[in-house]
Structure 1
């Protein structure tokens, strides 16, 4: 185990979780919440995502092998779910005052979906931790290092979410709405790419041909 190994693992996890890419989703979901509730949502989302990723880090490979499921199929399913959520970001109607109040009060649900899942603990992130902790190739010590790097990336994600509060103050609610719709288009593209890669993984489609 050397610095090159650590660097490769860290970059893989960081790219899969994409802390910066989570910011627009966080801003869109929490734009109308108070600063205190934004912090609660951020902490709850990161802890929830961390729990999900830790579960798949330990049991993911065993679960998939026991159920004879392919990682490609999981990637397709995750991409479809992500695409549906992206459509709600792009075409979602402006919220009424009652709906805004519901968003303000129901911050726990917002922390779980869409922030914890599928934004932070995305299908790509789950696949990454399963692959990086392959029981057939990686020793327990290497898997423990991967878990530590995962925790580090989640801490960085939490810090970035805390910094979203001054960003929201700067751009305001209209700016957050614009970012939400633009990022919805990008998220839809990412979702389609995940589905195509999933089809390629199961041998249905050759995306390089």
Structure 2
């Protein structure tokens, strides 16, 4: 039996539903409200499918390629750190990424589903929290349920993003984005350091 509260908090931290809101606002600014709702639903669904894939097959893929989890953790941390830097020094979302999203489906996949919601940290968490050697099938199912519960919160926040944006405005969204970027950079650095430590203690 897993600790539901700690597992939920862990996934809430790595998925960061609140930090996704500024990204959503920036990436969907040129769409109407109906399209924004569709994008919110699609991006959350895509993220759920991606993370569930890592729950089921992530460890198998890494093992078959002889890639230690520590290496995946380091790589994920580096990618996460680069993404965090773009949040800190760029706009609330880098202009080039927003320009690449030319339609609603593309926007739902990139930059929202990946790397904002189902980012490297979330993928890594999905793998580490469901290791076959440490957790049985029931515990893995419980962990997946907690992960999906966090994604439900993500969906609710994205559906309310326009209302939130009217309150905080562009400046508020930019400030939140930079603060979350700094926190994300710290998490990324911790992931890299933890991965390095684990690799050299194997």
User: CA, structure 1 residues 83+12, in 2 after alignment: closer, same or farther (shift >3 Å)?
Assistant: closer
2:81 maps to what in 1? 83
2:160 maps to what in 1? 163
1:14 maps to what in 2? 12
TM-score, scaled to structure 2: 0.81
Larger Rg: 1
Q: For 1:1-209, what aligned pairs fall within 5 Å after superposition? A: 1=1, 5-92=3-90, 102=99, 105-203=102-200
Q: Report the number of matched residues.
A: 200
Note the alpha carbon deviations across 1:99-122, whole angstroms, 9 max, x for none: 8x9578433223222321222212
Note the alpha carbon deviations across 1:132-163, whole angstroms, 9 max, x for none: 22222322222222222222221121111112
Q: Unmatched 5+ residue regions in structure 1?
A: 205-209
- Structure 1 CA distance, aligned partners of 2:191 and 2:175? 24
User: CA, structure 1 residues 58+182, in 2 after alignment: closer, same or farther (shift >3 Å)?
Assistant: same
- Structure 1 CA distance, aligned partners of 2:136 and 2:183? 37
User: CA, structure 1 residues 90+6, in 2 after alignment: closer, same or farther (shift >3 Å)?
Assistant: closer
- Structure 2 CA distance, aligned partners of 1:93 and 1:14? 24
- Structure 2 CA distance, aligned partners of 1:6 and 1:174? 36
Name which of structure 1's ranges 66-75 and 172-181 shifts more when overlaid on structure 2: 172-181
- Structure 1 CA distance, aligned partners of 2:81 and 2:168? 26
- Structure 2 CA distance, aligned partners of 1:112 and 1:104? 9
Name which of structure 1's ranges 68-77 and 79-88 shifts more when overlaid on structure 2: 79-88
1:203 is paired with a residue whose SS is helix
